Chains A and B, each alone.
Chain A
Amino acid sequence: SYVLTQSPSVSVAPGKTARIPCGGNNLGSKSVQWYQQRPGQAPVLVIYYDGDRPSGIPERFSGSNSGNTATLTISRVEGGDEADYYCQVWDTTSDHWVFGGGTKLTVL
């Protein structure tokens, strides 16, 4: 089955840019979604179709996807961005949704 790999943690200072990678075989051929999950809350979709933002998601959130890596980029990081972030794809081979293991973003 398809596997998405994420680093367990990323740290960034307030006001700086956070980049959260997600790896998978030929990931650039798939559509990648990103979810933000704050402690005790349900996940929230922040990026879909690799780089599109749902309404209400700040422009500071952007995404890219090429080759074997997709990246969620958060510009001008704020304390409220501290959360777990999950990447996700639809695997057409297994007809399964697949999540990455998640990355905890810490704002220093």
Chain B
Amino acid sequence: QVYLVESGGGLVRTGGSLRLSCVGSGFSFSGDYMSWIRQAPGKGLEWISYISGSGTTIYYADSVKGRFTVSRDNAKNSLYLQMNSLRADDTAVYYCARFVNFWSGFDFWGQGTLVTVSS
């Protein structure tokens, strides 16, 4: 059984930083792409980043590029999202998800962790 568990969310001041974690189990973590997706309250899904299994290929959405950094530690089956210069519009539930290729989507998702940015 595949499990993805996010943690690290919470309340942070505007301009502050936060680091999210996602631990995976039940699959070959180091072999799969991982992604972060967020959902603002009452809004739709927004893809924000992905990282290849080796960590050598990384892409970001324009909305977070230069402020957020994705990384992974395959020895710990862990995915991370370092979020800096946080703004009110970064308030959202943040999900991690797995995908195996670019034609079959995200087959497993975590339960999400809520990040609230407020002044």
Contacts and interface: CB of A to CB of B under 8 A. Distances in A.
B47 A42 contact: no
Given A42-B95, A97-B50, A99-B46, A88 B59 contact: no
Contacts of B45: 35, 37, 43, 86, 88, 99, 102
Grouping DSSP codes into helix (H, G, I), strand (E, B) and loop, the A interface class, with mixed when no group exceeds half, is strand
Given A1-B62, A43-B106, A48-B105, 17 more contacts: A31-B102, A33-B104, A33-B106, A35-B45, A35-B106, A42-B109, A42-B112, A45-B105, A48-B107, A88-B106, A96-B59, A96-B61, A97-B37, A98-B47, A99-B37, A101-B44, A102-B45
Interface string B55-72: 000010110000000000
Nearest to A86: B45
A100 B44 CA distance: 8
A44 B47 contact: no
A90 interface: yes
A90 to B, nearest CB: 4
A45 B107 CA distance: 6
A79 interface: no
